[in-house]
Structure 1
Amino acid sequence: MTQFSFAATALAVGLTLAGAATAQEYTARFSLDVQEGNPKYLAAESFANAVSEATDGAVKIQLFANGLLGGEVESAEGMRLGSIQGGIITSSVFATWVPEVQVLDLPFLFRDDAHAVAANPVLSERLADKFEAQGFHLLGFSINGARQPMSTFPITSPEDVKGKKMRVIQSPIHIALWEAVGAAPVPIPAAEVYNSMQTGVVDFFDNTATNYLTFKFFEVAPYYTDLRHVYAMGTWVVAKSWWDSLPAEYQAAITEAAASAQAEVAPMLAEVDAASLAETEAQGATINVIEDKQPWIDLMEPVWAEFAPKIPGAEATIEAVQAIE
């Protein structure tokens, strides 16, 4: 081999290795707690494809569904440790690090789906620095689903839930909002909801429309009430350490792709929810839509007075969200 050909070969190998290192450096393990086909997964898939296309394949978002990388808390911790680079995680999971997100659990913060979607840029702008300080880069929010009462009895007004045992998530705000309407909240882990309803430990609980079908909740809670008192929000985040390693043009591409994908979630979710509820109705469930929510809002108003002052920056965030038309 001539000196020239040896040098050329060495250069080619060096460029190949450099390319491989670059590709590996910009690969993100992206954690999702839902199965393939779920609107959140489909939006993440759209996001990953858009990022790959915009960066000519230099940034690869690898999706791990079904909690394969761990639960939501473990995934958030993994981002801080660097073992996971991103994910879509329920906002309340971040309350330990970013207490400001607790404002999203206040009852009737959002008027409807459109309002929750429109709040994304407002919330992102207000909370980005708070996430950054805790090792996360915030890409925005999307709707995981609205919480809806599911019960063994019909619910048409707050009067119907007085004295009834309500399964709640282990959150002071959620306990307080159901106490405010006269129910008797019982904190129970998610995995025990079906059995608790089946055995009469509780009379009702709240969850999302899709889960009403997926987890066969309609079998033990034949009455579904469309109230939308709290929206579960998915938080799109990546590890700050990984984000900081990216060139600025790749950061811009990821930001744009995330915003576009987040906008896809709500219409997909509405379609899936409608189909899910139709299927439960076909199997005997009763669906009731609360048209006048004001009695519920009035009774839950004290929860705002009690908790908003305890949440950093809540007053300004609430004002900004309510100003959205």
Structure 2
Amino acid sequence: MSIKKTLIVLLVVALTASIVLVGCGKSGNSNNESTQKQESSTPKYTFRVSSNQPPEHPTVKTLYVFAEELNKRTNGQVEVKVYPAAQLGEETEVVEQAQQGILEFVRVSAGNVSSFAPKMDIFSVPYLFRDADHYWKVLNGEIGQEIFKDLENKQLKGLVYYDGGARSFYNRVKPIQKPEDLKGMKIRVMPSEVMLKTIEAFKAQPTTTSFSEVYSALQTGVIDGAENAPINLLTMKHYEVAPYFSLDEHMRIPDMLIMSLKKWNEMPPEIQKAIMDAAKASQEFQLKAWAEYEKKTMDELKAKGEKINTVDQAAFAEVVKPLIEELKPKFDGLIEKIQSVQ
């Protein structure tokens, strides 16, 4: 082949390669533009979750896990900001915000939802659960889901239950050794009809002071005592003004992660699934975190000078038996259904 022909062939090859490269470049740019366009058209959501508990509380830490899991499961499409320590309002206030679609998520005690959904008051029935195992079989089983379903009539969506511990009495006056020791004492409870009746059954005076005001109410003598799980006694520093803690364990009221039903219905199916999956992952974390924190809580309370005593729980349970019988018609067979779970 002549030099001239060789040069011509090389020139044709070079031109062909240039055309191919330009074509590929255009195709690549087109793909990039398509991807960018798709990403920009994907809706982003920024949600909030409220809790009245302090930042160091294990359930507040759980909410950060929920936020992280949801962000991960949606590839960054959903961001959840956590607001602890009642920054957005007390529990009844934030539940109302969720009903209206103003607030997306709420961590709330079931006792504070009973004024919106009366079936929730079932958890306030004293000595309803035999032990922790019975408690979780009910919550994570059909009965727990049935109770959650009732929330939808009130524009709320139940996601998962969290451990709220066993509730016992603490006060600033004296150790509670027997049911009669409660007579005449002013005891703070949540605004639940069943909780109010339970305190009255012990001949004490119930009051519904806001949770954030319990410390000052104890300090000033507005109330004599309150009732809660050991972790809340510690994290809210109520031990500083209520030195007596009596382990009667009269109730096991769960915490819950709930969502505005209005906001839930606005979400596409893939986001709804991610929310449920993230909630379940957060429950798994919370149960472990709660158990670990609860173990060291009692030691910390003792170290801080809290006077802790056990009681004959059967004696306290005997006092409220007539109340439980009185409540059975109110819950239309639900008490018996829970009691029958093995």
CA distance in 2, matches of 1:301, 1:138: 30
Q: Find out whether 1:297 has 2:317 as its counterpart.
A: yes
1:244 counterpart letter in structure 2: N
1:191 to partner: Cα distance: 4.6
Structure-1 residue corresponding to 2:117: 98
Paired residue secondary structure (2:60): helix
TM-score (norm 2): 0.79
1:97 to partner: Cα distance: 3.0
Moved more, 256-265 or 295-304: 256-265
CA distance in 2, matches of 1:324, 1:264: 25
2:50 counterpart letter in structure 1: S
**Structure with bigger gyration radius:** 2
> Which residue of the other structure, out of 302, 320, 323, is the alignment partner of 2:337?
320
1:241 to partner: Cα distance: 2.5
CA distance in 2, matches of 1:146, 1:69: 27
1:301 to partner: Cα distance: 1.5
1:154 counterpart letter in structure 2: P
Unaligned regions of 5+ residues in structure 1, if any?
none
Closer, same or farther: CA 111–38 of 1 in aligned 2, 3 Å: same
> Which residue of the other structure, out of 202, 216, 220, is the alignment partner of 2:241?
220
Structure-2 residue corresponding to 1:135: 155
1:319 counterpart letter in structure 2: E
Moved more, 279-288 or 170-179: 170-179
Unaligned regions of 5+ residues in structure 2, if any?
1-24
Q: Find out whether 1:253 has 2:270 as its counterpart.
A: no
Q: How many residues align?
A: 318
Q: What per-residue deviation string (whole Å, max 9, x for no partner) do you get for residues 229-276 of structure 1?
A: 122322211122322233323322322331232233233223323323
CA contact (8 A) 2:182 2:203 kept: yes
CA distance in 1, matches of 2:203, 2:148: 37
Q: What per-residue deviation string (whole Å, max 9, x for no partner) do you get for residues 146-179 of structure 1?
A: 3211132122322333344434444432232122
CA distance in 2, matches of 1:260, 1:247: 20
1:15 to partner: Cα distance: 6.1
Structure-2 residue corresponding to 1:34: 53
Match runs of 1:53-72 below 5 Å: 53-72=72-91
Percent of residue pairs identical = 28
Structure-2 residue corresponding to 1:159: 180
Closer, same or farther: CA 33–218 of 1 in aligned 2, 3 Å: closer
CA distance in 1, matches of 2:162, 2:114: 17
Q: Find out whether 1:238 has 2:255 as its counterpart.
A: no
CA distance in 2, matches of 1:68, 1:22: 31
Moved more, 293-302 or 119-128: 119-128
Match runs of 1:269-280 below 5 Å: 269-280=290-301
Q: What per-residue deviation string (whole Å, max 9, x for no partner) do you get for residues 60-93 of structure 1?
A: 3332223333332232222232222112122233
Closer, same or farther: CA 246–195 of 1 in aligned 2, 3 Å: closer
Q: Find out whether 1:88 has 2:120 as its counterpart.
A: no
CA contact (8 A) 1:124 1:139 kept: no
> Which residue of the other structure, out of 169, 172, 180, is the alignment partner of 2:201?
180
Structure-1 residue corresponding to 2:68: 49
1:40 to partner: Cα distance: 1.0
CA contact (8 A) 2:111 2:191 kept: no
Q: What per-residue deviation string (whole Å, max 9, x for no partner) do you get for residues 205-226 of structure 1?
A: 2123123223332233222112
Paired residue secondary structure (1:224): strand
CA distance in 2, matches of 1:116, 1:187: 25
CA distance in 2, matches of 1:249, 1:13: 25
Q: Find out whether 1:19 has 2:36 as its counterpart.
A: no
CA contact (8 A) 1:112 1:228 kept: no
Q: What per-residue deviation string (whole Å, max 9, x for no partner) do you get for residues 35-75 of structure 1?
A: 33321122222222222333323333332223333332232
Paired residue secondary structure (2:165): strand
Q: What per-residue deviation string (whole Å, max 9, x for no partner) do you get for residues 264-289 of structure 1?
A: 32332233233233222112222123
1:98 counterpart letter in structure 2: A
CA distance in 1, matches of 2:80, 2:59: 15
1:303 to partner: Cα distance: 1.9
CA contact (8 A) 2:225 2:242 kept: yes
CA distance in 1, matches of 2:170, 2:283: 27
1:106 to partner: Cα distance: 1.0
1:21 to partner: Cα distance: 5.2
Moved more, 169-178 or 140-149: 169-178
CA contact (8 A) 2:90 2:210 kept: no
